[in-house]
């Protein structure tokens, strides 16, 4: 009897250990850095740019492209999404829209993406430090936060929304971002990992304990609520046919910030709003209404 109980305990302990190891391996793989070849540069849309470097508050060297405009008093920070970088087509094309409207443009590679340092992609958790570092970089160059727009896509959209409260920025634009990370991860982890939902808690736990990734802290809808209280102009852009981030996340943002400008699209894929013929017009109309001048 005692021997049977001992073996049962050993088997249970072994199963628990194996479960946690699987969770750790999955969390490690899904948060791995993504460094891809440069897809496009601002030169592809006839913009002069230069490469610049900045440093996050936790010491990571970040890379960015800077597009200056003589005499400009306004700037925008553009932030890419998961597994992307500053050379993504939607980022480059949007940089052209802002530059034509008289903005200086900073296009940032978040940690562990593009040309920036970093061992982990944290899905908007630690990336907030990168956005704040970019805001400090702009301020040192004479751009007060009240003259800076934050604009992000997907993970970058979630990150700029999280970074904005209390920063004093002029406005925030999010495209196809998630409003609440834990339920999104819970839904998408099985497909991304190839494992049943049974393993989700282990992935969450190991990511938090050993990789310092806390999904429960990434709930941008709560930050959108703070933006509403602060009166920071906020624009939501999302397609009902987004195959990556469900449209319900846009509705959550709108519920948290009832006064937001909400552009609902149909028939467009994830982060593809820039291909809409009215994209530039809609974006600049929001900025004009927000008084970003």
For 240-275, how does the pLDDT look when each residue is reduced to its tens digit (9 = 90+)? 999 999 999 999 999 999 999 999 999 999 999 999
Nearest to 127 by CA among 29, 58, 179: 58
pLDDT, residue 218, reads 97
Residue 116 lies inside a defined structural domain of this protein:
yes
The mean pLDDT value for 183-192 works out to 95
pLDDT, residue 7, reads 55
Q: Give the integer Cα–Cα distance in Å for 170 and 232.
A: 7
Residue 51 lies inside a defined structural domain of this protein:
yes
pLDDT, residue 20, reads 81
Return the CATH number at 169: 3.40.50.1820
pTM summary value: 0.94
Nearest to 292 by CA among 152, 135, 171, 175: 171
User: What are φ and ψ of residue 62, in 5° steps?
Assistant: -110, 150
Count of domains forming the chain? 1
Residue 24 lies inside a defined structural domain of this protein:
no
Residue 158 lies inside a defined structural domain of this protein:
yes
The secondary structure of residue 79, as a DSSP letter, is E
Residue 265 lies inside a defined structural domain of this protein:
yes
**CA-to-CA dists, residue 116 to 38, 60, 178, angstroms:** 13, 8, 23
**29-38, 45-54, 225-234, 243-252: segment of lowest average pLDDT:** 29-38
CA 263 to chain centre: 19
Asked if pLDDT for residue 16 goes beyond 90, the answer is: no
pLDDT, residue 232, reads 98
**CA-to-CA dists, residue 204 to 16, 25, 156, 246, 265, angstroms:** 15, 11, 21, 21, 33
Residue 166: Cβ within 10 Å count: 12
Residue 51's H or E segment, with its range, is strand 50-55
Residue 162 lies inside a defined structural domain of this protein:
yes
Residue 23 lies inside a defined structural domain of this protein:
no
pLDDT, residue 292, reads 87
Residue 231 lies inside a defined structural domain of this protein:
yes
The secondary structure of residue 65, as a DSSP letter, is E
**95-109, 131-145, 198-212: segment of lowest average pLDDT:** 198-212
Q: Give the integer Cα–Cα distance in Å for 158 and 175.
A: 9
The secondary structure of residue 57, as a DSSP letter, is T
Asked if pLDDT for residue 139 goes beyond 60, the answer is: yes
Nearest to 94 by CA among 245, 262, 236, 275: 275
**26-40, 84-98, 174-188: segment of lowest average pLDDT:** 26-40
**CA-to-CA dists, residue 182 to 32, 85, 137, 178, angstroms:** 19, 23, 31, 10
**14-28, 56-70, 183-197: segment of lowest average pLDDT:** 14-28
Q: In terms of residue numbers, what domain contains 91?
A: 36-196+217-289
Structure tokens that stand for 86 in this block: 């500053």
Q: Give the integer Cα–Cα distance in Å for 253 and 246.
A: 12
């Amino acid at each position: 009897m005692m021997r049977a109980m001992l073996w049962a305990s050993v088997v249970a302990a072994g199963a628990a250990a194996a479960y946690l190891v699987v969770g750790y391996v999955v969390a490690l793989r899904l948060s791995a850095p993504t460094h891809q070849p440069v897809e496009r540069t601002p030169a592809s849309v006839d913009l002069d740019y230069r490469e610049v470097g900045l440093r996050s508050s936790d010491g990571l060297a970040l890379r960015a492209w800077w597009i200056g405009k003589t005499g400009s008093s306004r700037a925008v920070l553009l932030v890419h999404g998961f597994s992307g970088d500053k050379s993504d087509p939607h980022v480059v094309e949007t940089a052209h829209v802002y530059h034509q409207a008289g903005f200086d443009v900073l296009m940032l590679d978040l940690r562990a993406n593009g040309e920036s340092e970093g061992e982990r992609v944290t899905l908007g958790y630690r990336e907030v430090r990168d956005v704040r570092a970019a805001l400090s970089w702009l301020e040192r160059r004479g751009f007060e936060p009240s003259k800076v727009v934050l604009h992000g896509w997907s993970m970058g959209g979630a990150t700029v929304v999280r970074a904005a409260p209390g920063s004093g920025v002029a406005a925030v634009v999010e495209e196809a971002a998630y409003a609440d990370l834990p339920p999104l991860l819970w839904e998408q982890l099985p497909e991304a990992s190839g494992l049943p939902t049974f393993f989700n808690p282990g992935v969450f736990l190991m990511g938090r304990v050993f990789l310092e990734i806390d999904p429960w802290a990434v709930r941008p809808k709560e930050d959108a609520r703070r933006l509403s209280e602060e009166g920071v102009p906020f624009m939501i852009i999302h397609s009902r046919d987004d195959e990556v981030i469900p449209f319900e996340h846009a509705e959550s943002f709108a519920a948290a910030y009832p006064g937001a400008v909400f552009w609902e699209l149909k028939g467009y894929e994830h982060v593809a709003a820039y291909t809409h013929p009215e994209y530039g017009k809609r974006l600049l109309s929001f900025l004009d209404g927000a008084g970003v001048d």
